[in-house]
Structure 1
């Protein structure tokens, strides 16, 4: 769908919860925290984890965070005990009790990170190591975007990996690891089974999660004004997300 600015805000969450059995899937960066110049520079709102657990209880546990960060990195910024989560773009998934869901995530093949390290150094971009992937950050120098993307695509092609573009970043992951797959995996397990799924996210990588929700009879909510998008509704920014969720 083009024209993201023409999308209307979603109906009030309280009303939707009265009408349907909802499940919420939330991106993290750009949705629950503002994007920062570097991944470790984000500012996490006070008591965010506690507020998310309260929201999860309102939904009888039908809440999951789905982020490009590794689960370990996410936990370092926001304690996630008691909240279902998927990290590394859905490659690693666990329920609210901390039990793994689906197949175990695989790390990058031997030698790939060394290749990325050398390439990032030569390009002058930052390399972020992840448990199940890696990311090249060029937010500080947007002029490096095409070079970084081309280099990532070359490495991915050589090793049958996948490339994911984001805001100021390009990531290398295992093929098939995406946020749509995470949504579908959660929907196979209680308490998400037979619910109406809603995905809230801001970046290109969130489109897979929104599409999976659309396919299951739910919908996506775009944060910001990016287009094109498969989202059906739009919230303008992170504070608008908090207002809609009553966080």
Structure 2
């Protein structure tokens, strides 16, 4: 693990891309859009989808969004047609043509959602139900982090779910779904196969994607100042991501 204060900025992107084929994996919240007090409150540049498609073209199609949001939710905020995507922390994947990849993601059991709703009401947490999981948000009430984690632990143990802690949130997903698995799945297929993978993300859940890129001869770039991290480089904020990518 690296300490963030020791992480240098990444080499210029255009020089990096000229030197070797790059496969670029981008988180969404906290990387391409600033975090907000609620998932639906993010502000997305109106032309972000078009910008991403142009960037994908520069990379020969080797660009994928890898988000904790479901694919439908992601598409509701940013037009993602023509862009490879993984949603629900990698549980649901599709290529740039819109074709599904891998086994279909499993929905969360209704009883698990009921338990989360009951606990969220009791502890004053915000519950976000997703097609393939759920998230307990406490960004507005950081003092309730332990309550959110305890509730998530209890429900995860009962229903064999995985826990994904993040910034002001604890998510529950199907076991085995993570961003590292999504990266590996894309790298096994054209046009990603054989490229040097780079993952850019800000949160704890992005560490799996960064680690998968390291394993494949690439690296991670951390957005922000979280520690510890497996990232090799750091960009300070969302604006710096846009500048680095000429997005």
CA distance in 2, matches of 1:181, 1:109: 22
Q: Residue 208 of structure 1 corresponds to which residue in structure 2?
A: 208
**For structure 1, which segment, 76-85 or 1-10, has the greater mean C-alpha deviation from structure 2 after superposition?**
1-10
Q: Residue 173 of structure 1 corresponds to which residue in structure 2?
A: 173
CA distance in 1, matches of 2:45, 2:237: 14
Q: Residue 145 of structure 2 corresponds to which residue in structure 1?
A: 145
SS of corresponding position for 1:56: helix
Give the number of aligned pairs. Answer: 247
Q: Does residue 67 of structure 2 align to residue 74 of structure 1? A: no
Q: Residue 48 of structure 1 corresponds to which residue in structure 2?
A: 48
CA RMSD of aligned residues (A): 0.7
Structure 1, residues 14-50: CA drift from partner, whole Å, max 9, x if none? 1111111100000000000000000000000230000
Q: Does residue 117 of structure 2 align to residue 107 of structure 1? A: no
TM-score (norm 2): 0.99
TM-score (norm 1): 0.99
| Alpha-carbon contact 2:2-2:231 (below 8 Å) kept | no
Q: CA deviation at 1:139?
A: 0.5
CA distance in 2, matches of 1:191, 1:130: 30
Gaps of 5+ in 1: none
CA distance in 2, matches of 1:215, 1:103: 24
Gaps of 5+ in 2: none
SS of corresponding position for 1:79: coil
Q: Residue 230 of structure 2 corresponds to which residue in structure 1?
A: 230
Q: Residue 9 of structure 1 corresponds to which residue in structure 2?
A: 9
Q: Does residue 202 of structure 2 align to residue 198 of structure 1? A: no
**For structure 1, which segment, 107-116 or 36-45, has the greater mean C-alpha deviation from structure 2 after superposition?**
107-116
CA distance in 1, matches of 2:210, 2:2: 15
CA distance in 1, matches of 2:3, 2:156: 32
Superposition misfits of 4+ residues, deviation over 6 angstroms: none
SS of corresponding position for 2:9: coil
